[in-house]
Amino acid sequence: MGDEFYAIIKLVSGEEILSLVSVDENDGDPLIVMQSPITMKMIHTNRGLHVKVKSWMELASDDFFIVKPDRLITITETSDEKLIDIYNNFLNDEEEDSIKIHKSNKVGNTNKVKPSKKMGYVSSVESARKHLENLYKLKDNKES
């Protein structure tokens, strides 16, 4: 396998991918090996320019993907530190999310999330119902 480098790849499908890439010579046929490829989309809003980042293959459990050169329009090496930082930060964040999901899937866990006050949970339905009934009773008593 050849040296690894960060590359921006344009596929014949129109997708643009940023990935850590190496070229593998397989019996004279070069193969492009992409590690954890991502897609990036530039979004222009009135608040500025934003970048939307997502995994190229969101449901795949593998990190490495092989692409034949006939599926490529072009490939270019990038040394743009901002792009490389976005790529590495996305992979680190995604890894942390998968660790959290994996830890929460313990045996016996029903995968339910307990609501908190931060989520808007203030009380149970029963206690909220009683509180509202008391408010309306007080209001009715004042009007009488």
Task: Tell me the pTM.
Answer: 0.61
CA–CA gap between residue 87 and residue 56 (Å, rounded) = 12
Task: Please report where in the chains the tokens 């989309």 appear, as a residue.
Answer: 41
Within 13 Å, how many C-alpha atoms sit on residue 4's CB side? 8
pLDDT the model gives residue 71: 93
In this structure, of 59-63, 91-95, 116-120, the range with the lowest mean pLDDT score is: 116-120
List Cα–Cα distances, 6 to 3, 9, 39, 75, in angstroms. Answer: 10, 10, 13, 10
Q: Could you tell me the pLDDT band of residue 143, with boundaries at 50, 70 and 90?
A: low
pLDDT level of residue 113 (50, 70, 90 thresholds):
low
Amino acid identity, position 85: D
| pLDDT, tens digit (0-9, with 9 covering 90-100), for 35-70 | 999 998 888 989 888 888 899 998 888 889 999 889
CATH code for the part of the protein at 5-105: 2.30.30.100
Q: Tell me, what's the pLDDT at 10?
A: 94
Instruction: Report the 3 state secondary structure along 45-108.
Output: ECCEEEEEEEECCCCCCCCEEEECHHHEEEEEECCCHHHHHHHHHHHHHHHHHHHHHHHHCCCC
Residue 77 CA to residue 93 CA, distance in Å, equals 24
Show me where the domains of the chain are located.
5-105
The residue-averaged pLDDT of 94-118 equals 59
